[in-house]
């Protein structure tokens, strides 16, 4: 394309005369990486489609573009309007000016929404000043489309909670984006300041931010509430653009957007206290996110140990009416149920009892549950082919020979132990208990555990 630069309107804008003698204004756009020609042409086609979709949207402070061109080695957006003026990046000013700018932006947003067009967010980069100092808004659809490729980070659109959760960007998402911009313009701070992208996303999802008034005490309570409503985590609680326009217009007309210096100074102490409280809550949350699992595991072990040591003992299972043979069966039921208190009731402090084994497995399973492990990762116990043979029976002593196979099911293996033992029972205060366990024979072997098909696939992955 042949052209001649007629006038440099600003560092960004130039008045160009084309070969056809038509005068156009071009606004330069800087990219992180200059797109190759094929990509530029694809971007040009996309921008033309966006321009066509917003033909009916007009506003006195809206700078609309009609094309995306390359002149020399620079890339430019071609303005649709005939007004000749240069533009410069916007720098935020007073609370009063920021409120008027935010109102302008809301009216443009409402205009797009009325035409059922979702902006995809607003950013500080959209705001520019012309040569006369008037704040204007660049074409949001075009600039938002280019935003991720531009070198100026002010064009980047902040993500919103519902989109992070998987929902589509809609008009209520535009409102949240406006709320983020309002927060930044009025406080000169970033509500989601973070060191990493992941931490920033977490802060957006949690929405535990400092209130604008705590950051800038000059902001009125009414304006503070209006911004927080726009930043509601739940989209259904956010006002629409029409309602925000009405509320912000009322605040501006009644000069209710900021308080006096004296009022701000009085609130300063409360603001400092609120900021400290908010920072403490954030630090506590991040500490728990980092160390919470460890804390839960330790607590699970301590609580389990407490109940095993001191017992959450309810009504005793074994009473004076319980026969010796029933005591033996209760003992093995406790083994299968991984119930250490039940074992302790049937065989208190008896050598060769399974109480320690059962206690350890119970603690291990409790820890696994606390970190949301799959049920297949829990250790299970079974007692197979139990045979109880009486050897001796008297009012003071009962002996049994027991044969059984202990089966311990781990994640990837099953351990079997075939045992023969002699159990000696004696009455303690009129209640039969196992007083002694004498090992006679033992044979142990291990088999590989066959996993369910879906679990095998998970392991292979």
89 burial class (0-12, 13-18, 19+ CB within 10 angstroms)?
Answer: middle
Task: Give the residue-averaged pLDDT of 377-392.
Answer: 92
Residue 288: pLDDT band with limits 50, 70, 90: confident
Task: Give the residue-averaged pLDDT of 388-400.
Answer: 95
Residue 31, classed as helix, strand or coil, is strand
All domains in the chain, ordered by first residue: 3-79 (3.30.200), 88-283 (1.10.510.10), 324-460 (3.10.450.50)
Task: Give the residue-averaged pLDDT of 210-216.
Answer: 93
- The share of the chain scoring above pLDDT 90, in percent, equals 62
CA distance 170 to 172: 5
pLDDT digits (tens, 9 = 90+) for 142-200: 999 999 899 998 999 988 999 998 999 999 999 999 999 999 999 999 999 888 888 88
Report angle CA 49, 51, 57 to the nearest 5 degrees: 135
Please give the span between the terminal C-alpha atoms of the chain, in angstroms, as a whole number: 55
Which of the two residues, 254 and 79, has the higher pLDDT score? 254
Note whether 381 and 406 are within 8 A (CB): yes
Task: Give pTM, 2 decimals.
Answer: 0.65
Task: Give the residue-averaged pLDDT of 82-93.
Answer: 85
Task: Give the residue-averaged pLDDT of 298-323.
Answer: 69
pLDDT of residue 20: 78
pLDDT digits (tens, 9 = 90+) for 342-377: 999 999 989 999 988 998 888 888 777 766 556 667
Residue 125: pLDDT band with limits 50, 70, 90: very high
CA distance 291 to 389: 53
pLDDT of 228 > 90? The answer is yes
pLDDT of residue 374: 61
């Amino acid at each position: 394309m042949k052209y001649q630069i007629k006038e440099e309107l600003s560092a960004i804008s130039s008045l160009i005369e084309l070969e056809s003698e038509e005068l156009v204004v071009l606004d330069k756009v800087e990219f992180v990486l200059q797109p190759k020609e094929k990509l530029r042409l694809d971007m040009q086609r996309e921008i033309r489609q966006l321009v066509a979709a917003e033909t009916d949207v007009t506003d006195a402070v809206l700078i609309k573009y009609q094309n995306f061109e390359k002149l020399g080695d620079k890339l430019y957006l071609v303005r649709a309007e005939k007004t000749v003026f240069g533009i410069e990046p916007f720098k935020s000013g007073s609370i009063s000016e920021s409120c008027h700018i935010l109102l302008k932006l809301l009216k443009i947003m409402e205009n797009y929404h009325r035409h059922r067009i979702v902006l995809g967010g607003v950013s500080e980069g959209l705001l520019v000043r012309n040569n006369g100092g008037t704040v204007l808004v660049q074409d949001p659809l075009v600039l938002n489309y280019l935003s991720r490729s531009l070198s100026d980070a002010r064009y980047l659109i902040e993500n919103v909670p519902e989109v992070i959760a998987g929902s589509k960007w809609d008009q209520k998402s535009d409102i949240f984006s406006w709320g983020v911009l309002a927060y930044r313009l009025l406080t000169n701070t970033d509500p989601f300041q973070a060191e990493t992208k992941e931490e920033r996303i977490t802060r957006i999802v949690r929405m535990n931010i400092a209130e604008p008034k705590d950051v800038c005490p000059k902001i009125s309570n009414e304006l503070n509430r209006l911004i927080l409503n726009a930043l509601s985590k739940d989209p259904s609680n956010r006002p629409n653009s029409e309602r925000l326009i009405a509320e912000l217009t009322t605040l501006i007309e009644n000069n209710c957007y900021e308080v006096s210096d004296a009022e701000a100074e009085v609130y300063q102490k409360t603001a400092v206290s609120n900021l400290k409280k908010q920072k403490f809550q954030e630090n506590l949350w991040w500490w728990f996110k980092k160390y919470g699992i460890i804390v839960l595991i330790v607590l699970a072990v301590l609580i389990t140990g407490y109940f095993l040591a001191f017992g959450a003992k309810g009504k005793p299972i074994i009473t004076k009416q319980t026969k010796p043979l029933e005591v033996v069966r209760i003992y093995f039921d406790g083994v299968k149920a991984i119930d250490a208190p039940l074992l302790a009731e049937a065989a208190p402090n008896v050598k060769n009892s399974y109480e320690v084994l059962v206690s350890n497995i119970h603690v291990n399973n409790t820890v696994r549950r606390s970190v949301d492990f799959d049920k297949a990762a829990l250790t299970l116990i079974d007692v197979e082919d139990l045979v109880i043979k009486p050897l001796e029976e008297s009012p003071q002593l009962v002996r049994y020979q027991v044969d059984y196979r202990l089966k311990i099911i781990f994640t990837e293996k099953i351990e079997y132990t075939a045992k023969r033992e002699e159990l000696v029972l004696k009455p303690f205060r009129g209640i039969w208990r196992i007083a002694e366990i004498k090992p006679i024979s033992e044979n142990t072997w291990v088999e590989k555990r066959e996993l369910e098909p879906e679990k095998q696939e998970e392991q292979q992955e």
